[in-house]
Amino acid sequence: MIETYLLHLFIIACLYVILTTSLNLAIGYTGLLNLGHIAFYAIGAYTSSLLALNFGVPFWIGALAGATLAAIVGYLLSYPTIKLKGDYLALGTLGFSIIVESVLKNWVSLTRGPLGLPGIPKPSIFGFAIDTIPKYALFGLILAVLVYIVLEIVVRSPFGRVLQAIRDDEMAAKTLGKDTFNAKAKALALSAFIAAIGGSYYAHYVTFIDPTFFSILETILIFSMVIVGGTASMLGSVAGAVLLTLLPEPLRFLPFPSSIIGGMRQALYALLLVLVIRWRPQGLIGENTFKKFKNGVKR
């Protein structure tokens, strides 16, 4: 029983690693304050679930379809938001996630609205059924490691350097001959692609989704994980995801009703966020944590 519980936590931690590392690509490496990440997660979850339920499409095709759709939406989202920066971009993307949530709630003929989608099949990849918790945990691990490696390669590549240059100073990046709009749109598309994979992974694990899974609360949680772990650091995102998944778990065992425990969980996230921002603004493992400059300056 306890193993099942721990494995469940591990599966959820893997999901958040996927979501935080992909969000960090946009926020930490490109400087796009994207509060609409959860919408891409939702697009992935709903696309692969609907394809599996209505047409019996295999998991991996459904997941890829959802991810591609999310990437296209992410790229297109760059057009209306091109001139928005910082807080304004955050508001614009938050608006986008609210629109997606509303569509999920109100397009009843497609999504069943608030009733959600029950009976989503467990995945099967090339005939190998992932139908038990230990198998799903292994699947989650493989997926999270794969996403981590891909994103590490991307951020260390010349393209990744361009993204960081845009974050530090878009004008300076332009003066170096970089097409900054195109780079930002591609970063948002890749970030959306990976978030959507996370959505498919989660939907086929819990086998039931409804629009409440993709609310602003979830956005805040993933955002907090990125900030606590450290922006512009993939390792930081992993740390943030694991820490914030595990930290509130002991609260479950306190003799309080679940309504109070829920509130305490939110309070704990808030407390941790305040402490990190006050004492370690770069996050637990922020950018340049392992880099040394000759003038002894670390940021």
**Stretch binding other proteins (CB under 8 A), from 1-9, 22-30, 61-69, 168-176:** 168-176
Work out whether 174 is an interface residue with other proteins (CB under 8 A).
Answer: yes
Compare residues 135 and 174 and give the one whose CB is closer to other proteins.
174
Work out whether 290 is an interface residue with other proteins (CB under 8 A).
Answer: no
Compare residues 82 and 206 and give the one whose CB is closer to other proteins.
82
Q: Which of residues 140-159 bind other proteins (CB under 8 A)?
A: 158
**Stretch binding other proteins (CB under 8 A), from 31-39, 127-135, 166-174, 199-207:** 166-174
Closest CA to 194 of 58, 64, 27: 64
Which of 172, 206, 216, 260 is close enough to bind other proteins by CB under 8 A?
Answer: 172
Work out whether 84 is an interface residue with other proteins (CB under 8 A).
Answer: no
Count of residues binding other proteins (CB under 8 A)? 22
Instruction: Quickly list DSSP for 67-121.
Output: HHHHHHHHHHHTTTTTT--HHHHHHHHHHHHHHHHHHHHH-HHHH-GGG-B--PP
Which of 176, 255, 257, 290 is close enough to bind other proteins by CB under 8 A?
Answer: 176
Q: What would the 3-class secondary structure string for 91-105 be? A: HHHHHHHHHHHHHHH
Work out whether 85 is an interface residue with other proteins (CB under 8 A).
Answer: no
Which of 51, 70, 144, 165 is close enough to bind other proteins by CB under 8 A?
Answer: 165
Work out whether 78 is an interface residue with other proteins (CB under 8 A).
Answer: no
Q: Are 28 and 232 in contact, with CB atoms under 8 Å apart?
A: yes
Distance CA 281, CA 164 (A): 18
Distance CA 261, CA 251 (A): 6
Compare residues 19 and 165 and give the one whose CB is closer to other proteins.
165
Work out whether 179 is an interface residue with other proteins (CB under 8 A).
Answer: yes
Distance CA 176, CA 174 (A): 5
Work out whether 56 is an interface residue with other proteins (CB under 8 A).
Answer: no
Q: Could you give the residue ranges of the DSSP H alpha helices within the chain?
A: 2-24, 37-55, 59-77, 86-106, 108-111, 133-156, 158-168, 170-175, 180-206, 216-229, 234-246, 258-279
Q: How far is the CB of 76 from other proteins (least distance, A)?
A: 20
Which of 85, 252, 280, 299 is close enough to bind other proteins by CB under 8 A?
Answer: 299
* Residue 178 burial (CB count, 10 A): 17
Compare residues 278 and 294 and give the one whose CB is closer to other proteins.
294
Judged on CB neighbours under 10 Å (0-12, 13-18, 19+), 103 is middle
Question: Which residues form the interface with other proteins (CB under 8 A)?
Answer: 158, 161, 164-165, 168-169, 171-172, 174-180, 287-288, 293-295, 297, 299
